Amino acid sequence: MLSNEMLTTNLTVFACISAFIFANDDGSVRTYFGSRKIFDGWKKRHKLTNCNIHFHGLRHTFSNMLFEMNENPKVIQQLLGHRDVKTTITVYNSVNSEYVREATDRLNTKIQEHEQEREVEEEVDDDDLSDEEIELQIRELEKLQERKRRRKEKDFEM
**Of 100, 35, 94, 30, nearest to 67 (Cα)?**
94
What does the pLDDT look like over 31-44, one tens digit per residue? 888 888 888 999 99
Whole-number Å distance between alpha carbons of 88 and 66: 11
**Do the beta carbons of residue 92 and residue 60 sit within 8 Å?**
yes
pLDDT value, residue 53: 87
Q: In whole angstroms, what is the distance from residue 71 CA to residue 64 CA?
A: 10
The half-sphere exposure of 22 on its side-chain side, counting CA atoms within 13 A, is: 12
CB 92 within 8 A of CB 64: yes
pLDDT in tens, 109-131: 888 888 888 877 766 555 667 77
pLDDT at 142: 85
Residue 29 near residue 21, CB atoms below 8 Å: no
Contact 125, 117 (CB under 8 A): no
Instruction: Work out the pLDDT band at 1, boundaries 50, 70, 90.
Output: very low
- Regarding pTM above 0.75, the answer is no
Q: Is the pLDDT of residue 135 over 90?
A: no
